[in-house]
Amino acid sequence: MDFHTYAEFVPDIYTAALAPPVSTWWPWRRRSVHIARAVVPTAQVRAMVVHGGGGYSGALWPAAAVAAGDGVDILAPDLPLYGDTVEPDPAGVRYGDWVDLLCDLVAAERAADPRPLILFGASMGGMLAYEVAARTRQVAAVVATCLLDVSDPAARAAATRFGWMGRPAPVVLRAVEPVLGRVRLPIRWMADMGAMSSDPRLARLCATDPRGGGARVPLGFLSSWMNFRHCEPESFDAAPVTLVAPAADTWTPPELSIRFLQRISGATELVMLDNCGHFPIEEPGLTQLRGAVTRVAERAGRR
C-alpha cells in the first residue's frame, strides 16, 4: 500500500492535482525517521501532518494534501511503529517517545525554517498536536480532526474496540505492563479499525495495511497512552485550536472532542465536516476541511 492506493478514495475533483510526496530521513535517538514532504519554497506557511494509531504519512497524504490546498509547504513524519520509520526496538516504544520526537522535530524544523508552522493532527494525532504545541510554544496553530482526551472514561470507551474495555484500561494496563509491556499485539484487536471510514473498502485497507492499522503495538505503548496526562485545557494558550470534526464519525463521536475543545482557555474554532467519517475524505466535508485549513493558514501567515 502506498500514496496511490489511498489516493483512489479522494473525490475525483481533486485527484488530478494530487502528487506523491518526496521521502526524506531524519536521525533521532538511534532511529531513522521517515518524513514525507512537499517542499514549497514560496509558501508563507508550513504544515506538519501528525498521524495517530494505525496511520502513517502515505495513508494520510492524499487527504492532507487536499486539505492543505495550494501554497502550503507540507511535511508528515512516520512515528515509530508505523510507516517507513526504522525503529530498533519496537517493543520498547512508548507514547512519550512520540511526544518527544514531535517536540524535537518542531524545534528542528523551526530552527531551519522560520516560516509559521501549523500542526494538523488526525485522529489520535489531534491530542499529539495539542500537546506538542503546549510544550514547544513554537506552533502557529493547531488543526485537529479529533481531541480525544483519554482521561475521560467516555473517550476511553470510544477509543477501544469494546467500550467496556476502555473504562478500566489505565489501571489494568498499568498493572500488567511490568510483565507484559513488551508483548506486541495487532492494533486492530484493541481498536475498532472497521469504524475508520464509512467506506468499507477504505476501512478494510486501513485495518490490513502492514505499515498502518495492520501493525503490532506493545501493550506498554497502550499503557503509556492511556495513563498519559496531557496539558490541562484550562491553562492552554500556546496556539489557536481549530477542531475540524467529522460529523458522521461513528468511532469517536464529535461531541467527545467538542467537550474538550470547550474547556480550552485560548482561542478555538469548531468546524463540522458534513458526511465525513473518522477518516475525513467524503464530500462535502473534505471541501469544508480544505476551507478551514486555508483560513487557518491565512491567519497564521499574517501573524
pTM (2 decimals)? Answer: 0.95
Number of domains forming the structure of the chain: 1
Query: How would you label 24-60 residue by residue, b for 16+ Cβ within 10 Å and e otherwise?
Result: eebebeebebbbbbbebeebebbbbbbbbbbbbbbbb
| Per-residue model confidence (pLDDT) at position 163 | 54
Query: How would you label 277-294 residue by residue, b for 16+ Cβ within 10 Å and e otherwise?
Result: bbbbbbeebbbbbbebbb
Measured between alpha carbons, how far is residue 194 from residues 70, 106, 200, 213, 249 in Å?
Answer: 32, 32, 7, 10, 12
Please tell me whether residue 51 adopts helix, strand or coil conformation: coil
Q: Are strands 117-121 and 72-77 parallel, antiparallel or unpaired?
A: unpaired
Taking alpha carbons only, the member of 239, 288, 233 closest to residue 257 is 233
For 167, the domain range is 3-302
| Per-residue model confidence (pLDDT) at position 206 | 92
State the Cα–Cα distance between residues 27 and 4, nearest whole angstrom: 27
Quickly count: other Cβ atoms within 10 Å of residue 91's Cβ: 16
Cis peptide before 284 (omega within 30 of 0): yes
CATH number at residue 217: 3.40.50.1820
| Per-residue model confidence (pLDDT) at position 243 | 98
Residue type, 1: M
Contact (CB, 8 A) for 71 and 290: no
* Mean per-residue pLDDT pooled into runs of 10, the chain (303 residues): 84 87 96 97 96 94 90 95 97 98 98 97 97 98 96 85 64 90 89 84 92 94 94 96 97 95 97 96 96 95 78
| Per-residue model confidence (pLDDT) at position 25 | 98
| Per-residue model confidence (pLDDT) at position 288 | 97
| Per-residue model confidence (pLDDT) at position 164 | 47
| Per-residue model confidence (pLDDT) at position 69 | 83
